[in-house]
Chain A
């Protein structure tokens, strides 16, 4: 007989209570894991950012454009390897609830700066040939059941009217950190249409995407770009792609903080539930602990039994919670793909689940162990019978 066997047997003495506690821990860990995954999904764009890409936008606000003429000037700045540009289109597909990100961009250079976005070469060639062509992510295509050659009509919000595009390419991400729900089309198609309609934003772009020769010179290149357009009509604000993505998230930081708070509150609640279970268990077994002490077992042994039992119950619940996090995240991610294009359970989330479970188990066992260790044997024996 081994002490571990005794711990395991003790854990299942009250089957219903253990089952309910394990269930509670599993649900808490599942909820904690999902909320952490939501937070990760919020920062997914940041995580996927490249250190060798910069974004230059209008220094006043992203809603103001930059002249197309800046492209050549930026290209000539020291440290710049390539320049492309894009504009947020903000089109709606059939209904507003079908939201997905759609961009007008320079077709030859823009996607080339994203090696993580993989489009079959023949589809890319077809896209480049067709001015009304578009490339969409795999998940977006699956969501709406599109096929290559389909005509997709977006209703413009920033640029009014119905805009027809022909789906020429479907891209995949190099790994699961890449957003596969975006929609790209030719900036020139947008610009020509605007010219014909005599609207604003002609020969204007939303931002410049700049590839630099070395990630270490990002700050210097950013400064050089912004200095070039100092005191112009459209001053630039150049930052790394990561900082650019973070500036979006900062707008909804309160929500992220609230989700983080809720995730920790869940852990705190389950800690109270497990502590209650362990307190009941220890109270019922105080006589047994006295027997153990009588037989020569030390306070350390008694603590070990209680901590072990707390660990056994909590880690079993945590294991179930972790296992179920993956299918739950799959369903969650599918249902909310328009809000969270990347919804993957990160390895760090699993580590956090495990650490949270260890803390819950340890804290829950603390008081019962202290009580069991400090009770006098004679008092403990008096509880029996």
Chain B
């Protein structure tokens, strides 16, 4: 057993979707603990519930039953508004397709989450510059997403994810749209975030090479986690 504090504690989590008259159970009584500062990969076949689990941990979907405590806060009981506020301060998101706003420059995309923080313009600039330096894109801050490569866009997305200094980063197939070299760079960057900044990363991936970068790999199949996670250090 690890002696690190738990940052995510999930107990008896269930989630199902309605498709027409059919109810599809995605997660059924799932329990999971994640240590602070852990880099965890979630693997499994399509439809196994990986993204659903990630969304529930990140507070962008609602569970049918069960408990999710993140950083000591029971997020299943929070209202939509409270969840929005909680996400803004506690979770950073990295998506497969980067999801940058195309009409905003790299700088402005990274600045977006800070608009809710109440920081002054000067303070925001300082934070954004640091975040872009971390992802090694300080020289591209005035570029628009359309002027950047896929790898660079994903790095901007990572800068946006870390700019508010959240404890947890959730990444849904962060290398799924990248070539091998760019994917490698992104994974190294994520490792760096864990080792140097102490972030906890939960990453959904299909790619075993990406998963091998994680400290812990969990396999999810038909809503059930495998009993013996493969661990790499």
Residues of A within 8 A of B (CB): 1, 3, 6, 9-10, 13, 287-288, 291-299, 376-378, 381, 384-385
Contacts and interface: CB of A to CB of B under 8 A. Distances in A.
A287 B96 CA distance: 13
Contacts of A13: 102-103
B55 interface: yes
B85 interface: yes
B39 interface: no
A295 B103 CA distance: 17
B181 interface: no
Contacts of B84: 293, 296-298
B99 A297 contact: no
Contact of A378 (B55, B85, B115, B160): B55
B119 interface: no
A9 B103 contact: yes
Contacts of A385: 96-97
7 smallest CB-CB distances across A and B, nearest first, come from: A296-B88, A9-B103, A1-B108, A377-B60, A378-B61, A385-B97, A295-B113
B178 interface: no
B89 to A, nearest CB: 8
B21 interface: no
A363 B175 CA distance: 42
Contact of A6 (B61, B85, B104, B160): B104
Which bracket fits the contact residues of B?
20 to 34
Interface of B: 52, 55, 58, 60-61, 80-81, 84-85, 87-89, 93, 95-97, 99, 101-104, 107-108, 111-113, 115-116, 160
Contact of B60 (A1, A9, A10, A378): A378
7 contacts: A1-B107, A9-B103, A10-B103, A287-B99, A295-B112, A378-B60, A384-B95
A135 to B, nearest CB: 64
B88 A291 contact: no
Contact of A381 (B80, B81, B88, B95): B95
A363 to B, nearest CB: 25
Given A297-B84, A376-B61, A9 B95 contact: no
Contacts of A291: 95, 99, 101
Contact of A384 (B81, B97, B111, B116): B97
Contacts of A1: 104, 107-108, 111-112, 115
A65 B101 CA distance: 78
Given A1-B108, A1-B111, A3-B115, A294 B103 contact: no
Contacts of A293: 60, 84
Contacts of A376: 61
